[in-house]
Structure 1
Amino acid sequence: MPEGSPTPWSYFLIRLLFKFVLKIFYGTIVVENADLIPERGDPCIVCANHSNSLTDALLLVTSIPSKRRNLLRLTAKSTQFGKKTFTSWLIESAGTIPLKRRKDFNNEEVDNTEVMLKLMQALEGGDAVCLFPEGMSRYHPTIAPLKTGVARIVSDALSRNRDKPDFEVSVLTCSITYMHREHFRSDVLVTFHSPLKFRTKDNPELLAPVKYDEIRALTARMHQQISSGTLDAPSWKLIRNAKLAARIYAPLGTTMSLGDYVRVVRTFLEAFKLAEVPHPDSSSDGEAGVSESAEDKKIIRLGNDLKDYQDKLARWGIKDDRIRRPLRRRVIIYRLLVRLAWAVFLLSISIPGLLLWLPVFVTTFIAVHQFKRTGPVWDTWDEIAQYKLIYGLISGLCVWLGSVILTFPVAPLTAVVVPATMWISLRWLEDAISASRAVASLTRLLIVGQGHLRALQAQRSDLHARVTELADILGLPVDPERYFAESRGVDKGRVKGRWASKTKYFSVRRRRKRDWNETLRLYDMVDYPDDPY
């Protein structure tokens, strides 16, 4: 029985480093179905959608519990190896296997024979290998057609061990959903699916010589699993509409987990996608054509009206919740003053920590700005988070080390106080920006005027009725606020009770955001790239 490769000491350090960096950069990382991961010693290929360059691999390494798998063998394009860069060092230290891509060698033939042999030996030894079947990282709203490499590796592994009838290889698919890939303090959902298991004696159709139809069928099953757990759409417009529909259906304050939120958004997204798919039809004269049912037309009109409503909200800078629950003018003024005072207070007490963060923010901003100039936006978006993570880590360590050196007589104290100050100041900054966002929104409510607000309220009331009707057709719960709260709702950091509110404020897992769509910014992320794909 294979036991898997021993874990190199550097892998422990790299994994801890990955966890630390990701916890700082992303607000919440939710991992679902970790119990489905095959245990150590079972040959396993881990496959996921690939939308965020190196960050996807970091997430998988840290999301797989060490008690399930002691090591995840990564693969990466060969051009990232052998460089005198921090990224190259990270990749090589994690035991990553280099893969040659034709696009990196002027579309000429490349030889990956040695790499494939290493992958086979790793699987036969009971290791877990990570592959991204899309073939490349891409910032698109849809998952690319998967390449057949993983299915071929499964076939090759079974064929090499045809004399072992009980030899088994598992394909563990995973869906990674970033609320906003590149933004600081956004949220991430990592969902593992039931592994596809293939055994020599049970799957003779995958033994060489294998028919290409079998390879394509396996690849299609992988694509279906991966896309079933994330937001996969032909355009950003549909994702935007689906998120707004989910927000109207389960309004701000609904206690729902990130996984439930993504599944609700995806339910609406699938309805919008299917409505836009042309259906084959035959006209009276026998010629083939396409048609739209009355239900499809209804859903398409709803999508267009949702877009119109969201455009108006974005134009005025108002959140949907401000339209859902209108406030009296004197209440708006009172809340505005309270939020303004709270924002000023939090910013004031966080200044010492923000001074320590300043070199990190400036360094990261310059690095990302310079990187964006290296190519068209669509070709750099997927690596922005990677650059922010790496340059943020390096500059943060420099700040910490510089503080320790400058205060050498009390260095042990500084070594603890500096990161603690930076951490709590980040908490205060998140709350201060949340309060500032509320101030800006309340101010705009005063500027917009009652006429525009009443028109938006009427439009939202109509949309709410139509979204609720669609949700009922799609089989979503009738009372989402109650249903999700009673099932497995998460209060997004808000705590109940005076004592709990005082102690939980300093919890590492605490988050003050009430909307999974928020980031650490003065505005909500509701707009997406306009580039056609």
Structure 2
Amino acid sequence: MSETERRGSTKDRFIEKVFAFLTRSLYREVDVYAPVPIPSGSPQLNVANHFGGVSDALLLLGVLPDRPGIVARDVIWNVPVVGRLMNWIGAIPVHKPEDHNSPTSNDEMFASCYGALDNAGNILIFPEGVTRNEPSIATVKTGAARIAIGARAHGVAGIQIVPLGIHYEDKAALRSRVFINVGVPLDLDELIAEQTPAATEVTASNRAAVDALTDDIDVALRRAAPDFKDWSEAGRLATGASIALRGQLDDPASEVPFGLRNRLANTLADLPDKQRAKICASVQDYQSDLDAIGTTDAVLHAHLRTGGFLRTLVWQLIIGICLLPFVAVGIAVNVIPFLLVKAVGRLRVAPSMHSTIKPVVAALAFGITWGIVIWRAIAAFGWAAGGVAFILLPVYLAAVVLFVERFTLMLRAYRRWRAPGDPQTFSEQIAERRTAVVEAVLGS
């Protein structure tokens, strides 16, 4: 059966509907952006970043117009039921020496890929070879290039290599949002013609040709997928993109579309270090002001436009006053655990040791203290009082943390506003900081 006939079979249509249903069920929104149409009717090798493990394949099976055959590590077939599922959807196993502690051959895998690409076929590979926890692309391996060049050498003409960037809002959360950025396809025949002398035989064993194509795939994938220095930079560039785009919306108080934001953030990630640092610094300054008054850019932007900034500050003051009784009780109950955690923070140990010790000390200190309070409440007033104490103790702690954080941020903002030689009001300062973010983003 040809690839075209397979894609039109009842089984194939059923598989596509199953994965489309799963995708719609698991994710609140899946936005696909393709500046040019995804190729159809020609052999297609899809290359995607690998941030979400199995979720990556599930998503792409649910949104690509033609269901691809997935190239996956053969160890997956060892999982009960999963192996049968992989066979059912037409996945192609790849053998890695590290999975078998011995040399392995992928001749069968390459042959399967060549066959799948023949007759306008369609396959999917994750060329990094591993699932990434960092917001950046790992070193792209040569497997995708070897498959494409090998298939061409075996007579498959017109192969298109399509980079797919998967951007998760939160890859661990259900009903979150996903943006799939489809990059500009690479025409393999054109690349070979440009990079290789006409008389040269180009096969999968031609190291120079494989390395050159791998470099092309690496560049294309980094343009389509998230590729940030670290999570801090990723968050700040995404925030800066949202702030800059909000002024272009019909309703600036509404949420900036997830895909639009990530496309701009991805573009910002390609800027030189100095420009990225400028954007991140301006976002951090503006965000500290937003945190100080407990609001968001969407709300503040609307209030700055309508003159409601003073109402925002007054409302935050009212909230602070209402919290005071809870704060007083929270401090009285939790003063000893607070001091213990503070003392641990002063220990001269490595940051990794702090990250281990502090949560343990905090859990023990607060747990023991709360246990004593609940026990005393039960002894004095009965089980009902113990239940009330059990519910209220976390509320008192949250009130203290919220109040202290907000008070510290507002005090910092007040000192900056009252700095000598600065005649601006705080509302003018925060509006200026927002403008600085927009200019840093759009001026880059």
TM-score of the superposed pair, with normalisation by structure 1: 0.55
Return closer, same or farther for 1:104/1:463 CA change in 2, 3 Å cut-off: farther
Deviations 1:316-362 (A, max 9, x none): 865344555335269849x99xxxxxxxxxxxxxxxxxxxxxxxxxx
- In structure 2, the CA distance between the partners of 1:331 and 1:12, relative to structure 1 (3 Å rule), is farther
Q: 1:314 to 1:102 in 2, by over 3 A?
A: farther
CA distance 1:250–1:460, change in 2 (3 Å)? farther
Cα distance in 2, alignment partners of residues 127 and 255 from structure 1: 39
The aligned residue for residue 149 of structure 1 is 143
User: Residues of 1 paired with 2:57 and 2:204: CA distance?
Assistant: 33
Cα distance change of structure 1 residues 146 and 457 upon mapping to structure 2, 3 Å threshold: farther
Query: Is the partner of 1:177 in helix, strand or coil?
Result: strand
Flag structure 1 segments of 5+ consecutive residues without an equivalent. Answer: 276-295, 337-439, 475-533
2:283 is aligned with 1:306 = yes
Q: Does 1:233 align with 2:216?
A: no
Tell me which residue corresponds to 1:437: none
Match of residue 131, structure 1, among 113, 125, 128: 125
Which amino acid in the other structure matches residue 170 of structure 1? Answer: Q
Give the superposition deviation at 1:45.
0.9
Tell me what 1:91 maps to: 86
Indicate which of 161, 164, 180 corresponds to 2:170.
Answer: 180
Matched with 2:238 is 243
Q: Which of 162, 179, 201 lines up with 1:189 in the alignment?
A: 179
Q: CA deviation at 1:312?
A: 7.2
SS in 2 for 1:232: coil
- Whole-angstrom distance in 2 between the partners of 1:464 and 1:88: 53
Which of these residues, 430, 437, 440, is aligned with residue 470 of structure 1? 440
Report whether the alignment pairs 1:119 with 2:89: no
Mean Cα displacement is larger for which, 312-321 or 125-134? 312-321
Q: Secondary structure at the match of 1:81?
A: helix
Aligned to 1:328: 311
Q: What's the CA shift string for 1:282-314, capped at 9, x where partnerless? A: xxxxxxxxxxxxxx3x76355345336546766
Q: Is the 8 A contact 1:78 1:99 kept in 2?
A: yes
Distance 1:103 1:95 in 2: 24
1:177–1:231 CA contact under 8 A, matched in 2: yes
**Does the C-alpha gap of structure 1 residues 211 and 320 become closer, same or farther in structure 2, counting only changes over 3 Å?**
same
Give the number of the structure whose alpha-carbon radius of gyration is greater.
Answer: 2
Closer/same/farther in 2, CA of residues 168 and 323 from structure 1, 3 Å limit: closer
Match of 1:54 in 2: 54
Equivalent residue of 1:189, what SS?
strand
Q: Which amino acid aligns with 1:77?
A: R
Residue 80 in structure 1 maps to residue 76 in structure 2:
yes
- Contact preservation (8 Å) 1:34, 1:64: no
Displacement of 1:25 in angstroms is: 2.1
Change (3 A) 1:269 1:11: same
Q: 1:265 to 1:109 in 2, by over 3 A?
A: same
For 1:459 and 1:236, the matched residues in 2 are separated by 28
Residue in structure 2 matched with residue 28 of structure 1 by the alignment = 29
Paired with 1:3 and 1:98, the residues of 2 have a C-alpha distance of 18
Question: Which residue does the alignment assign to 1:18?
Answer: 19
How many residues were matched structurally?
Answer: 334
The 5 Å alignment of 1:410-429 reads: none
Matches within 5 A, 1:330-409: 332=315
The answer to whether the 8 A contact 2:34-2:181 is kept is yes
2:365 matched to which residue of 1? none
Question: Structure 1 residues 302-311 or 128-137, which shifts more?
Answer: 302-311
Structure 1 residues 57 and 209: alpha-carbon distance in aligned structure 2, compared to 1, 3 A threshold: closer
Q: How far did 1:13 drift?
A: 3.1
CA RMSD of aligned residues (A): 3.7
Residue identity over aligned pairs, in percent, reads 22
User: Contact between 1:3 and 1:126, CA under 8 Å: does it hold in 2?
Assistant: yes
Supply the distance in 2 between the matched residues of 1:51 and 1:231 (Cα, whole angstroms): 9
What displacement does 1:264 show?
2.1
Structure 2 Cα separation of the partners of residues 109 and 198 of structure 1: 30
Query: Does the residue aligned with 1:144 lie in a helix, a strand or coil?
Result: coil
Q: CA 1:322–1:99 in structure 2 vs 1: closer, same or farther (change >3 Å)?
A: same
Do the aligned partners of residues 316 and 26 (structure 1) sit closer, same or farther apart at CA in structure 2, a change above 3 Å counting? farther
The letter of the residue matching 1:63 is V
Residues 89-138 of structure 1: per-residue CA shift (max 9 Å, x gap): 433321111111233223x3222111111111122233101111111221
C-alpha deviations, 1:19-72, integer Å up to 9, x for none?
Answer: 2222122111011228622224x222111111111111111112122xxx3x41
Structure 1 or 2: larger helix share?
A: 2
* Preserved contact between residue 82 and residue 88 of structure 1 (Cα < 8 Å): yes
SS of corresponding position for 2:167 = strand
Moved more, 198-207 or 182-191: 198-207
- Unmatched runs of 5 consecutive residues or more in structure 2: 247-251, 304-308, 320-397, 418-425
**Partners of 1:248 and 1:458 in 2: CA distance:** 17
The CA distance in 1 between the partners of 2:54 and 2:48, in whole Å, is: 13
Residues 184 and 312 (structure 1 numbering): CA distance in 2 closer, same or farther, change over 3 Å? farther
Q: 2:189 aligns with which of 199, 212, 216?
A: 199
Tell me the equivalent position of 1:219.
214
**Equivalent-residue separation in structure 2 for 1:160 and 1:209 (angstroms):** 10
Q: Residue 129 of structure 1 aligns to which amino acid in structure 2? A: I
CA–CA distance in 2 between the matches of 1:306 and 1:262? 16
